[in-house]
Structure 1
Amino acid sequence: MPEAIDYLNDELLLTPDEKPKAAQTPLLLRAIEVIERINAFIDETGAEPVSEPGRSVRERMLANELAGLRASKADLDGLASYDTRNLLFGGGGGADPLDDPLLSDGLDIFAVRDELKPMARPDFVADRRPCPDFERFEPLFQDIRNAVEEGTRKPQPFRQERVELGEFFVLKGQLVHVADLRDEHRRNGKLDARLRVIFDNGTESNLLMSSLVRRLYEDKDARRIGVTDSGPLFMGARTGFVYVLRSLSDKPEVQGLLKVGTTAGAVEDRVAHAETQSAFLFAPVVIVETYELVGHSAKETEQRIHQALRPYHIALRVTGPDGRSFSSVEWFKATPEIVEKAIRLVLAQG
C-alpha cells in the first residue's frame, strides 16, 4: 500500500504565507497549560501576576511561571497562537527602551549607580542544575497547584526546625519539593542532611537541609504546602507512614535489630538510598512493615513510639566511607511482634 500523504502539512503544497504546524511536544503542552492559567488569572484580576512580598502564593507562583515562559520563548514557537494577550511574543511585558535608567538622566554612561550594581545571589541558586528526570516530578507540582487552587491544601507559614522527605514549599515564589534526604549527620550540634531539592522550573539542587531551612526563614513569604485543616488531628488527612526496617548490614552488632521511624512521603522513597545514609548504617535495608498515619502528627507519633520502645533501644555509632563517625538512633533490639504491639498501642491512643 502506498504511503499516505499528509496534505495539510505538506510543505510543497503550502502557500508562501503558511507554515507547517508545529508538533505539540510535552514541553509545549505544559507551556500551553501554563499560559492558559495565566490568562485566566488576568481575566479574574485585570492585571498580570506579580511576584513580590504581600502577594498571594497563587499569584507569585504564576508570576514565576510567566518569567520562565519569557526566558524560554525562543524554544516555544508553537505557543504564539495561545499568547492572546501578547505576554510573550507581542512585546507584552517588555520594558520601554525610553525608560532605560542609563538614558533617562545626565549621568555618564559608564557611571555605576547603586541600584544598578550586581546583587548577591543566594548560595542555593549557584549550584542549581537541570533536573534530568523532571518528568517524574512535574505531575506532582501540578497536583500541588491544583490542590492549592481548590483549597484542599493550604499554604502555611514555615515554622520548622527541619524539613521532611516528600514535603513541598513555596520559596521566593517557586514551588520546591524535597525529593531525597541522605547523609544525615550532626552539624553545629543539630541534625542536618544532604537533600535533593527539585524546583518547579525544572532545576534541582543538592543543598544542605540547614541551608534550605535558613532560606525558608529568611523569606517572610515562604510557605509550607500543608493540608487545609492542620489542627492537632489534621482532620482525617493522611500525614505519613510509620516504618519498621531490618538492616542488611553484615556487621554482627546490627544483627537482630529493627529500625522504627516515620516519614511524610513514601517509605520506598525514604529508604531508596539507604546505603548512603548514616541513619541506615550505610547499608541496604528491607521493609518489614509499614503503617499508614491518618489523623496523627508523624513526629509526635514517632516520639511516642520510641518512648514505648525505650527499654529495647540500642545506641549505635557507624563510620562512614569518608572516615567520619556518626551516631545512629531509632534502632531497637526487639521482635517484630513487640514493635507492632507498641505501634498499635500508640495509634489506638490517638
Structure 2
Amino acid sequence: MPDMDDDQLLAALELPAEERKAGAYSPLQERVIAGFEDIVRFAKENGRCPSHGEDRDIFERLYAVRLDRLREQAEFHDLLVPLDEFGLLSGGMDGDQAHEPEDDEALLAELEIEEQPDSITTLKHVRPHAEINAADEVARRTPCPDFDAFKPLFGRMRTDLEVGARRTRPFQRDAEIKQGDFFILGGQMAYVAEIGEEFRTDQDRRNARMRVVYDNGTESRGLMRSFQRALYKDEAGRRITEPEAGPLFDAGEDDPPELPSGDESGTIYVLRSRSRDPRIAANRAVLHKIGVTGNDLPKRLAGAERDPTFLLAGVEVMATYRLYQINRSKLERLVHRFFSAARLDLELKDRFGNPVRPQEWFLVPLPVIDEAVRRIEDRSIVDYKYDVESASLRPIGA
C-alpha cells in the first residue's frame, strides 16, 4: 500500500473527530482511535467483525474497508491494541468476507463515494447517514399493502412477454426510468408505480424518490439512481420494452415486416364459451377464444369442460378459417400479439384447486376477428392495429 501523509490517511479512513483529553493524542491519533472504536462497537453489537459484500449494510462495508486498512497500518497497532478487546487487528472474529468488486472504482461507486483524481484511496464527500440509508433502500423490500391493485398488471406483462408483444433488453448505465416502466431485477419483475419530485444530486445528476412494486408482493421506496445502479450491476437486469405499436409481424429495425411462412397448413378457430360464470356470461357476446390447430377441430375441443384453456365449460364454434403455406405456431403467437390489449384478465381454479389464467380469450367482436383474418390473407394486416376503445382495426398512424 503506498505511503500516505496525514491528510490523505484521514480522508481515506473518514474518521470523525471527537473530543478527548487535550494533548493526550495528536489529531491524527484521535481520529484513528475514534474510527476504530466504531468498529469495536459494531463487533460487540453483532458478535463478529464487519464484512464485505453487497448484502451487507453500507456502513458495515465502510467499517470493513477501514478495518482492512488499519490492519495494514502497523504504525497504529500499538495505539489501538489496548482498545482491541476482540483481537480485530490480528484477524479475530472473522466474518463472512464476501468478495468485493475487483477494483477500487467499482467499490467506491457501490459505496456512493465519489472518486477523487489525486488518489483512488482518498475517500471524500461521503454523503450524510440519512441519504446513504435512503440510497440503500432499493434492497429493502417490504410487503406491498395494495398488491391486489398491481397483480393484474404483472399477469398481463407476463402474457405479453410470452406472445412476443414485449421484449426484454439489457439495462444501460444511467438509462431513463419513467413511471409505469417494467424491469426485471434480481429475478423479480419490478413495476415503477410512483416517481416523486425530481431533484439534483451534489454531482448535478437527476434523482427522485420512487415506489417500486415487485411481482412477489413486495415493494421498495428508494432513490432512482440507486435503482438504476442495481439494474446495471445485475447481470440479468433487464428493461421490459413497450408493446409493439401496430405491426403484427416481427421484424428487425431495418427489415420489412413479413408474414410467417412455411409448408404447414392450419385452421384458425374462433370459439364462444357456454360457461355460466357471471364474469364470463356478462361478456359472452364479445368474448372469444382464438386459436390455431393443425389437427381435427372436434378432437381439439374434446373434454373442454375439464380444461382451463376452455374456461372449464363447453364451447360453441363461431368461425373457422383454413390457411396454407404458413407456420401455425408463429401465426397463433402473432394473432395473440395483435389482440393482446384486449386479452381477458381472469383467474380460474382448475379441478385440483390450482389457479390458472387462460391466455387465448379476447374481448373482441366476431366481425373484427373476421376482418383481421382477411387482412392476414391479403397481407395488409401489417398496416393496421387493434384499437381497444373503438373495438375496431385502425390504420397505423391514424
TM-score (norm 1): 0.31
Larger radius of gyration: 2
